[in-house]
Amino acid sequence: MNIRAYKPLIPMIAVYGVLITIALTVDGMWQPVAYFMFYIALGQAFNIFLGLTGYVDFGYVAFMGLGAYGMGLAIKNFGHLGLIALPIGIFLAVIMSMLLSLAVGAVALRLRGAYFAIATIGVNEGFRYLVEGVRLWGGTEGMILSGFMRKTYGREMTNFFSTFLSDVLVILIAFSAAVVTIAILNKKMGYALLALREDEDAAKVMGINVTKYKIMAFITSAGFAGLIGATAWTLKLTYIFPEDVFNISYTVEAIVIVMLGGAGTLLGPMFGGLIYGIMKYYLSVIFPGIQLLILAPILIAIVVVFPEGLIGYIRKKARDTRLSEYLR
Amino acid sequence: MLFVRDLESGYGEMQVLWGINLEVNEKTVTTILGPNGSGKTTTLRSIFGLNRPWRGVVEFDRIDVTYMPPHAKVEIGITLVLEGRHLFPSMSVEENLRLGAYTRRAEEKMDDSIDLVYSLFPRLKERREQKAGTLSGGEQQMLAIGRALMTAPKLILMDEPSQGLAPKLVAEVFETVERLREEGLTILLVEQNVYASLEISDYAYVLGDGKVVLEGTVDEIRDSEEVKKAYVGI
């Protein structure tokens, strides 16, 4: 393994360090930082698919939703066994979201570009109506776990889950997704994905098995989405409603974050998630009610000025300087 | 080396190839001619697997490769130079070439392949650091051929390599094809440029409406009434 190729993780660790320090030392900053970290994790996870392959999955939130249900089912069915229910929930979240992505990917990833995007919208909506329609996992009434969790784990432990543990897990998930991203970028798979993102036919004539790499990136990305759903939603909120966890707006936010920071870069989703999270949070504090009206033009302006995303732009400027070793 | 029997294929509901039969011998240049829409490109794409064959057989070195996916074909020594070059414009010449040596077999031969490409195209060597998108049309076509060579192929399928090039560069591309044959490669060429491509070919097929309407040695094709009629208009 070439350690030097992992240098871009250094600025990432520095930013995480600053954020965690602020969260722990400044009063009342833990929750806002956790909120930003959710968006960073979302961007980092989605980037593994959208950024590395160039394919847009409009049904991405379905994997988060399934992950949320995976954790919910584990707590409900294995809660009586004690804390072991949490690792079971993590496991279920990953397995369920990966299985769905394998099924969707095996069919839809044979479609190109816009056709794939359209096909995936159906997956998310279809899943939501399945849950609501056949009253799967509580149907429209969802899963409300707070009472059960307080009874099983005690009030203090439940509070610890939702105000601390879930946030720490989200940070770990975001960081793990970033490590996986740079590992892929540094491996041969990174070149294969680069080639297929730029020109799929060219990748094929070079001997790259494009379907395999698309599916691998899709499953990896979906697994991380499942983890985010399990922790940032079920464990933190202690309830699951299908209209929340299959809400397409999270997919749109994920796309915005990845584009904002720089698709296919390592650091892009972190800066994209941070900028998006900070703006959304503070705009809603300063201009409650009209925050989106202000946010949207700002986002459009950023994307117009930096079409390759923030990190894409900085990387271009820093080309052939020593700084470029730390940017990816 | 390559046998194609009764190959049928198309796009969606529309059938384009209605039973193509052709044969390519080792270390030769074989050309497929024909008017626009006669199925030349579709033939190459179906042989390579970018289009799925509907019916028929494709054999390479006596192995049935009809339904073998493109990446596996590259592994056994077939590659395709796509119409319109399909380079990675923001990467340098050398990056394009190195990325071309993707399969394990090609990677092992990477240094030899790069030497071969640079000896065939000294101009690419001069411009190795330059971005592919900034090359001239002729140089881009050389790079596309060079990248195909990086896969360490035995058989190269080439789709209209002279397309959009100035006459002088067209001649250069065809000279290159001849050099490739001298290097021991086998080439199946699709061309619009009838007389220039016949100059360097050993055997030729003429397609019309998705079928082979004529085949023969270069002299036979050149003198045939059909080709004169189709291309010269007399």
The pLDDT value given to residue A319: 84
The pLDDT of residue B102 is above 50: yes
* B88 has a chain A CB within 8 A of its CB: yes
Phi, psi of A239 (to 5 degrees): -145, 160
Determine the Cα–Cα distance for residues A38 and A320; give it in Å rounded to an integer: 34
Q: Which two tokens stand for residue B20?
A: 């193509």
Give me the residue from B50, B87, B99 closest to A204, CB to CB.
B50
What is the Cα gyration radius of chain A? 20
Q: At what angle do helices A61-78 and A248-261 cross, to 10 degrees?
A: 120
Length of chain A: 328
Give every strand in the sheet of B2-11, ordered side by side: B14-24, B2-11, B55-60, B63-64
β B203-208/B55-60 pair status: unpaired
Q: Which two tokens stand for residue A211?
A: 């379907």
Q: Which two tokens stand for residue B207?
A: 């397609």
Does some domain include residue B90? Answer: no
Does some domain include residue B162? Answer: no
Give every strand in the sheet of B29-33, ordered side by side: B78-81, B155-159, B186-190, B29-33, B203-208, B211-217
Does some domain include residue B180? Answer: no
Alpha helices by DSSP H, listed for chain A, are 9-25, 30-53, 61-78, 85-108, 113-133, 146-153, 155-160, 166-186, 188-198, 200-205, 210-228, 236-237, 242-245, 248-261, 268-286, 291-305, 309-317
* B143 has a chain A CB within 8 A of its CB: no
Does some domain include residue B222? Answer: yes
Domain that holds residue B228: 1-77+188-234
The pLDDT value given to residue B231: 64
Chain A residues with CB-CB distance to B132 below 8 A: none
Q: Which two tokens stand for residue A145?
A: 């776990």
Distance to chain B for A182, nearest Cα, Å: 19
Give me the residue from A198, A199, A208 closest to B102, CB to CB.
A208
Number of domains observed in the structure of chain B: 1
> Inter-chain contact B70–A205, Cβ cutoff 8 Å?
yes
Chain B residues with CB-CB distance to A109 below 8 A: none
Per-residue pLDDT of chain A (328 residues; tens, 9 = 90+): 688 889 999 999 999 999 999 999 999 999 999 999 999 999 999 999 999 999 999 999 999 999 999 999 999 999 999 999 999 999 999 999 999 999 999 999 988 878 898 889 888 999 899 999 999 999 999 999 999 999 999 999 999 999 999 999 999 999 999 999 999 999 999 999 999 999 999 999 999 999 999 999 999 999 999 999 999 999 999 999 999 999 999 999 999 999 999 999 999 999 999 999 999 999 999 999 888 899 999 989 988 999 999 999 999 888 888 888 889 9
Closest chain B CA to residue A189? B102
Distance to chain B for A95, nearest Cα, Å: 29
Chain A residues with CB-CB distance to B103 below 8 A: 206-207
Where residue A109 sits, what CATH number does that domain have? 1.10.3470
SS3 A308: coil
Closest chain A CA to residue B152? A206
* A191 has a chain B CB within 8 A of its CB: yes
Determine the Cα–Cα distance for residues A185 and A262; give it in Å rounded to an integer: 14
> Inter-chain contact A206–B102, Cβ cutoff 8 Å?
yes
Does some domain include residue B53? Answer: yes
Where residue B5 sits, what CATH number does that domain have? 3.40.50.300
Cα→Cα distances B62→B48, B57, B71, B212, Å: 16, 11, 19, 22
Residue with tokens 């959009």: B164
SS3 B5: strand
Give me the residue from B75, B80, B102 closest to A191, CB to CB.
B102
Residue type, B121: F
CA A238 to chain centre: 19
* A307 has a chain B CB within 8 A of its CB: no
Chain A residues with CB-CB distance to B147 below 8 A: 206
Domain that holds residue A302: 3-326
The pLDDT value given to residue B234: 46
Closest chain A CA to residue B99? A191
Give chain B's mean pLDDT: 92
Which of B153, B212, B163 is CA-nearest to residue B183? Answer: B153
Determine the Cα–Cα distance for residues A41 and A232; give it in Å rounded to an integer: 10
The pLDDT value given to residue B224: 82
Chain B residues with CB-CB distance to A202 below 8 A: 82, 86-88
Number of domains observed in the structure of chain A: 1
Residue type, A81: L
Q: What is the pLDDT of residues B82-97, one digit of tens each?
A: 998 899 998 999 999 9
Does some domain include residue B216? Answer: yes
Determine the Cα–Cα distance for residues A138 and A140; give it in Å rounded to an integer: 6
Determine the Cα–Cα distance for residues A170 and A166; give it in Å rounded to an integer: 6
* A208 has a chain B CB within 8 A of its CB: yes
> Inter-chain contact A207–B69, Cβ cutoff 8 Å?
no
β B29-33/B203-208 pair status: parallel
Chain A residues with CB-CB distance to B50 below 8 A: 201, 204
* B52 has a chain A CB within 8 A of its CB: no
DSSP letters spanning B60-125:
ETTEE-TT--HHHHHHHTEEEE-TT----TTSBHHHHHHHH--SHHHHHTHHHHHHHHHHH-HHHH
* A320 has a chain B CB within 8 A of its CB: no
> B79 pairs with which residues across the strands?
B156
> Inter-chain contact B82–A191, Cβ cutoff 8 Å?
no
Give me the residue from B50, B69, B103 closest to A201, CB to CB.
B50
Does some domain include residue B156? Answer: no
The pLDDT of residue B181 is above 50: yes
* A28 has a chain B CB within 8 A of its CB: no
**Dihedral, CA of residue B63, residue B69, residue B70 and residue B74, to nearest 10:** -50
Which of A219, A238, A239 is CA-nearest to residue A109? Answer: A219
Which of A301, A35, A304 is CA-nearest to residue A167? Answer: A35
Contact B212, B22 (CB under 8 A): yes
**Residue A138 DSSP one-character state:** G
Phi-psi domain of A188 (left: phi exceeds 0; alpha: psi -120 through 50; beta: other): alpha
Q: Measure the CA angle with vertex A20, ends A18 and A21; round to 5°.
A: 65
Q: Which two tokens stand for residue B93?
A: 């010449």
SS3 A43: helix
Residue with tokens 């509907």: B54
> Inter-chain contact A207–B87, Cβ cutoff 8 Å?
no
Chain B residues with CB-CB distance to A205 below 8 A: 48, 70, 74, 79-82, 86, 148, 151
